[in-house]
Structure 1
Amino acid sequence: MAALLRSGKNVVSTSIVSLLHPASAAPAIVRMLEDACTEGGTSCFTSGIDPGFANDLIPLTLTGMCARVDAVRIAEILNYDTYDQPTVLFDTMGFGRPMDHVPLLLLPGVLGVAWGPAVRLLADGLGVTVERIEESFERLPAPESFSIAAGPIEAGTVAALRFEVVGIVDGAPRIVIEHITRLRDDLAPDWPDPPAGGGYRIDVTGSPSFHLELSMTGADGDHNAGGLLATAMRLANAIPAVCAAPPGLLTPFDLPLLTGRGLMR
């Protein structure tokens, strides 16, 4: 990435999620990339849908209509049965693995590394400081064997995952990013149900309070396809603004409102 920036190429990316919030990223990496931006006269913007758009622009826009904000919760509630990425589902997230297996995503601190920057970025937009990040998770087994696009899920292995990444502000859990991921709609019936087709639920508690449900579908009607396309287009549509921005590592606060200008035809 540094080589690209140094050579005069602007970068938009969904990877290195710590760069969603450069202020809390590893100083050595930030310094290296900022130096590359300065040398190449380029900019770098890291975003997506989650972490990304669903965690920053949408909730912050809602808070702009509040007289007081007490807490913000963003939940992704999706069935990943059509998500044909075995490495992500089985190795990283631990689906289809024994209940006592601890996958990469659930190792201590990893959830905070992955979603902590989004929590801190949201806190910046609210003008508050996150004292620490807390994380927790819960899993449920498959009641019987079944198959998803990524492969077989054996009875008794992990088939539903719920986790929270919590920003503690003034000693209280004020900013929460939650994921509720099922591999079948009927699993974990006591957990919150998804928006229509699956998507995001955003709750701003304050005066007034707001409750927003957002679902997405691809051209084939699939919510996972819609989410993947939205992730990519958040960045593709940012390219003109990123190229026009001053050199450096960018956050949404450094860019104008990104719209679908030119896409209605």
Structure 2
Amino acid sequence: MIGVLQMGFGPLGKQIAHYIADKKNVKTIAVVDLDPDLIGKDIGELLGKDKTGVTVSSSVDEALAKLDKKPDVAVITTVSSIKKLVGQVEAVAKHGMPIVSTCEELSYPWKENEAVSNEIDQICKKYKVACLGTGVNPGFLMDYLPSTLTSICKDVDSITVERIQDATPRRVPFQKKIGAGLNLSSFKEKEAEGTLRHVGLKESVYFLASCVGIDLDEVTEELNPVVSDNDISVPSMNIKKGDARGVEQISHGYQNGVLKIKMHFKAAIGEPRSYDKVTVKGEPSFVSEIDGGINGDIATCAITINSIKSVLKANPGLQTMSTISVPGYLS
């Protein structure tokens, strides 16, 4: 049985806990969260289930003090910013626990956050544990998956990755993160603050380029609101005509002035068609498309859990999806 410490018990952490509860060989045995409304409560009751005997603690040290045996691995679902993650990584790593995190900037951080990446890498090597940033995107659909698809290519000239999704069934924090329901003035304010965007698009570009051996000398990114043409009402919000129903981001990666990688991300309430698509130009050239797209909340929780065995076997230090053994379904 693999014992898991979960750090972060918001919507994503709770969904992961639900999925772990259905597994045969994985069990949540400790939970840490700073929310005073959660501390001391049994996670079973917080999940709408029977009591488990596992209560929410305010720190890693407090959680471990309740246990006879430390957890085998930690799952961190707290922040998107790698800079805010450092202290949390160290709090876990010093107890010898490998880490799987959904922090988007951790998925391939060396280009955008080199100094912090090196700091986390050194912390993990000091305590001899591996640390992985993963999720559906970044972590799989727009970076890891396209990199594996190029395995059949003799030559690769360029890669275009598209993730277009209807955000209506997504969890509310995600809908807010993409600006759904905001008027355009508020959208621009939050964009300027850096709190409104899909986090990790540039990380995906750099990850993919690294995997296929393309040395990019310029990476650009643009962000725009997806404006609603009519009033929209969904369970989580009402959107007026002319307000934002989501976000569209496009990133380009250039080598010597030539476009080599393009990533197009669009997530919006009421998007008519969802799909994930990879177009490779090379030898052979091909298109691979997932009609209907992949539900991001389900997939992020699943890949986080399914990566646990790979992280347990990984070398100490900061890892990526390309440097661990291939994750597979954990029954």
- Quickly name the TM-score band, shorter chain normalised: 0.7 to 0.9
Runs (4 or more) in structure 1 with deviation over 3 Å come to: 103-113, 137-140
Letter in 1 for 2:159: V
**In 1, Cα distance between equivalents of 2:242 and 2:224:** 15
- Out of 91, 109, 127, the position equivalent to 2:213 is 127
- Out of 286, 292, 302, the position equivalent to 1:210 is 286
Q: Which stretch has the larger CA shift, 136-145 or 251-260? A: 136-145
**In 2, Cα distance between equivalents of 1:136 and 1:20:** 20
Give the percent of matched residue pairs that are identical in Structure 1 and Structure 2.
Answer: 22
Within 5 Å, give how 1:220-259 maps onto structure 2: 226-259=295-328
Letter in 2 for 1:144: N
In the superposition, relative to structure 1, how do residues 109 and 141 fare at CA in structure 2: closer, same or farther (>3 Å)?
closer
Within 5 Å, give how 1:100-119 maps onto structure 2: 100=185, 101-105=187-191, 114-119=200-205
Within 5 Å, give how 1:16-95 maps onto structure 2: 17-85=104-172, 87-90=173-176, 92-95=177-180
Tell me the matched-pair count.
Answer: 242
8 Å CA contact 1:48–1:231 kept in 2: the answer is yes
Cα shift at 1:78: 0.8
Aligned twin of 1:7: 95
**In 1, Cα distance between equivalents of 2:196 and 2:175:** 16
Higher RCO by CA contacts (8 Å cutoff, separation 6 or greater): 1
8 Å CA contact 1:83–1:150 kept in 2: the answer is no
8 Å CA contact 2:159–2:281 kept in 1: the answer is yes
Aligned twin of 2:260: 174
**In 1, Cα distance between equivalents of 2:202 and 2:208:** 10
> Where in structure 2 are there 5+ consecutive unaligned residues?
1-88
Aligned twin of 1:148: 234
In the superposition, relative to structure 1, how do residues 238 and 113 fare at CA in structure 2: closer, same or farther (>3 Å)?
closer
> Where in structure 1 are there 5+ consecutive unaligned residues?
187-193, 218-222
SS at match of 1:137: strand
In the superposition, relative to structure 1, how do residues 27 and 179 fare at CA in structure 2: closer, same or farther (>3 Å)?
closer
**TM-score, normalised via structure 1 length:** 0.81
Deviation string for 1:141-188 (max 9, x for gaps)? 3233221232111122112532201111221221122112232145xx
**In 2, Cα distance between equivalents of 1:231 and 1:113:** 14
Letter in 1 for 2:299: A
In the superposition, relative to structure 1, how do residues 43 and 113 fare at CA in structure 2: closer, same or farther (>3 Å)?
same
8 Å CA contact 2:180–2:268 kept in 1: the answer is no
Letter in 2 for 1:136: E
Cα shift at 1:57: 2.5
8 Å CA contact 1:82–1:148 kept in 2: the answer is no
Cα shift at 1:112: 9.3
In the superposition, relative to structure 1, how do residues 51 and 236 fare at CA in structure 2: closer, same or farther (>3 Å)?
same
Aligned twin of 1:191: none
**TM-score, normalised via structure 2 length:** 0.66
Cα shift at 1:59: 1.0
Aligned twin of 1:96: 181
